[in-house]
Amino acid sequence: MSVIYQTWPWYVAGFLIGMVMLSLIYFGKNFGMSTNLQSLCSMTGLGKRIEYFDFDWKANRWNFVVVLGAMAGGFVAVHFMSDPTNVAINPKTIELLSQMGIDAPNGQLMPQALFGEQIWESPKSILILLGGGILIGFGTRYAGGCTSGHAISGLSNLQLPSLKAVIGFFIGGLIMAHFLLPLLF
Amino acid sequence: MNTLKYFLVGFLFGIVLTKSEAVSWYRIYEMFQFQSFHMYGIIGVAVATGIIGIQIIKRKNIKDIDGFPIEIQEKPRDNARYWIGGISFGLGWALVGSCPGPIFILIGAGFMPVVIVLIGALIGTVIYGALKSKLPH
């Protein structure tokens, strides 16, 4: 039984994520998490002011149910399926992080430096999380999809536009990880 | 059952992304430092599974659960939106270590600071919605 507590191997995870996408296609839907951001905004009535949000968000209610399931899955996995051997990243990565003052995982998914309780008292930390969120929300809606919609669904359907988007994701990610993060920490 | 199947697919997605640590800030940073194959393996196998599955669906004309033909939307043939939007997304992804799926999964798992990321993502969505007609696509 210990296999369920350990880090799941990439080939198991990759296969199951592919099956999640195919299941949604079989249900007559498509796999795209960032569409929920647009639906959430539309729910608030923004469609009266901004055309982009003027659509029938209720048609996307199934996707909110997927999100609720995913949240429950995250809760179960973190609280009942974890052990201290988790998040065993490369020691060289830990070394790079320590140069920026970011703590090693020690079995935790998220670094205290960015997601610890102390961030509520640090305007800089809050701005980093808020700014990261804005870049994600703006970027994914501009590009018309995120990791699920472009990297998984789009590439699986051999869509050239999705390849452009994924290359864009990596250009942005590499700039952040190599040049901007060291300036911020 | 109609609603339950979406919940179950989401539940599996949440467990898999958490147990493979694709929701972890550390794994995303490690990926962008090219110091592990793990994330590349996950994305690669997911896409390979998807390509095979979609080819089978197309060649065998498999119908969906309600008996309708399966149509998979083509992405618009634009340029600027993919490069500019993609780079913006990537900058955020590497900064806070989570894309939209993991944002929800992590909040469900109880990581409350991720709520700030979600608020940011909604603000970013509104900014895009408001500027859409003025942006190159």
Task: Kindly report, residue by residue over A100-149, the tens digit of the pLDDT.
Answer: 999 999 999 999 999 999 999 999 999 999 999 999 999 999 999 999 99
User: Using a CB-CB distance cutoff of 8 angstroms, which residues of chain A are in contact with residue B117?
Assistant: 129-130, 132-133, 136
A93–B87: do the CB atoms touch at under 8 Å?
Answer: no
- Report the chain A residue with the minimal C-alpha distance to residue B36: A90
**B41 to chain A: closest CA residue:** A10
Model pLDDT for residues A144-163, shown as the tens digit of each residue: 999 999 999 999 999 999 99
Of B38, B65, B122, the CB nearest to A137: B122
For residue B14, how far is the Cα from the chain centroid?
12
Cα separation, B113 vs A100, in Å, equals 20
Question: Above 90 in pLDDT, residue B69?
Answer: yes
The first and second tokens of residue B11, run together, are 């539940």
Mean pLDDT of A63-76: 98
Asked if B110's CB is within 8 angstroms of A155's CB, the reply is no
- In the predicted model, what is the mean pLDDT of residues B124-134? 97
pLDDT band at A99 (very low <50, low <70, confident <90, very high): very high
Q: Which of chain B's residues have a Cβ under 8 Å away from the Cβ of A8?
A: 16, 19-20
In the predicted model, is pLDDT for residue A1 greater than 80? Answer: no
A159 within 8 A of A166, measured Cβ to Cβ: no
Q: Sort out which chain A residues have CB atoms less than 8 A from B55's CB and list them.
A: none
For residue B69, the 8-state DSSP code is B
Nearest Cα residue in chain A from B57: A26
Candidates A60, A34, A55, A30; CA nearest to A45 is A55
CB contact burial A142-160 (16+ within 10 A = b; e otherwise) = bbbbbbbbbbbbbbbbebe
The answer, for B67 touching chain A at a CB cutoff of 8 Å, is: no
Q: Which residue has the tokens 């940011």?
A: B120
Query: Residue A2 — pLDDT band, cuts 50, 70, 90?
Result: confident
- Which residue in chain A has the smallest CA separation from B61? A26
The pLDDT tens digits for B6-17 are 999 999 999 999
What Cα–Cα distance (Å) separates residue A39 from each residue in A34, A43, A160? 9, 6, 26
For B70-99, what is each residue's pLDDT tens digit?
989 899 999 999 999 999 999 999 999 999
A12 CB neighbours in chain B (<8 A) are 20
- ipTM score of the complex? 0.96
The whole-angstrom distance between B56's CA and the closest CA on chain A is 11
pLDDT tens digits for range A14-50: 999 999 999 999 999 999 999 999 999 999 999 999 9
Residue B2 has a pLDDT of 86
- DSSP class of A9: P
The tokens for B9 are 């697919």
Interface probe with A: pick from B9, B28, B127, most Cβ of A within 10 Å: B9
Residue B122 has pLDDT above 90, yes or no: yes
